[in-house]
Amino acid sequence: MRRADRGQNGPVREYRRTPRLRHLGISIKAVLFLVMGAVMTTIPAEAQSPTADPALIDDLVAANRILYDQGVVDGFGHVSVRHDKNPEHFLLARSMAPGLVTTNDIMEFDRDGNAVDPQGRTLYLERFIHSEIYKARPEVKAVVHSHSPAVIPFGVTSVPLRPIFHLSSFLGAGAPVFEIREAGGPATDILIRTPELGAALSRTLGAAPVALMRGHGDVVVAPSLKEAVFRAVYTEVNARLEAEALRLAPSGQVTFLNDEEAAKATATNAGVLIRAWDLWKAKALAATR
């Protein structure tokens, strides 16, 4: 269609009105609406959550390195922290050796253990340990899962893991043993590879800071990332010391912390554990430079 316009001081101008959009019966506004709608549907809601504090991510990297340097984890094991901006989510590295984790390896997961932005990266099979504990324990801010060597015997014998010195006083709250056969039957691969198994482990953990996993390792939780690392390290140390004490006193005459001592020592340790964190962090990060 042609249209003529006469300017105030100029000649008549002619131009064509393109018929294409009108022919299709679609307005420009409608096209923009459709395009924007398509873009929005490709962006998951989780991806629009606020970015976690970079300092928290740095601490999570340090936690991985510390646990490796202290002999709690080796090529296996993992540590997570609850997202500081979205408490329904948590941060965890991609599937890799903890001692090699960098900031670029940290991923965000939703409450069901789904990666928010996987980018084709391999995920830990046992991420459901973390997701199910965070669901059940809102006060928990960090979770460590390890195959802590000295702990393993306490998960396969009738000898309970008990606090033998003040730095492991948190064990006074108990360290129940998770038997995967009760939740998954007699023929699992021992791994917590489903939400159902993660929920069963969480039920065994209950309100305790530590649960042993028969033939597997342990899970440690705490109200902060630094305290979770502290507890994971001293769970391993306590297991070594307790085993040695039981060798010295085979008839079982070992004096453990009582409930009152354990509670008071735990409160004291919470105020000073930063000393251990700073030392372990400096050593672990120096070893990777």
Phi/psi for 249 (5° steps) reads -125, 75
Cα torsion 188, 189, 190, 192 to 10°: value is -90
Concatenate the DSSP letters of all residues of 42-88 into one string: TS-GGGGSPPPPHHHHHHHHHHHHHHHHTTS-SSS-EEEEE-SS-TT
Burial of 217 (0-12, 13-18, 19+ CB in 10 A): buried
Contacts 24+ apart (CB under 8 A), 237-240: 237/150, 237/167, 237/168, 238/161, 238/163, 238/164, 238/165, 238/167, 238/168, 238/171, 239/148, 239/150, 239/151, 239/153, 239/154, 239/161, 240/150
Please give the Cα distance from 28 to 104 (Å, whole number).
41
CB 175 within 8 A of CB 208: yes
CB 163 within 8 A of CB 266: no
CB 225 within 8 A of CB 141: yes
Q: Which of 126, 227, 236, 242 is catalytic?
A: 126
User: Is 236 an active-site residue?
Assistant: no
CB 154 within 8 A of CB 160: yes
> Which residues belong to the active site?
126
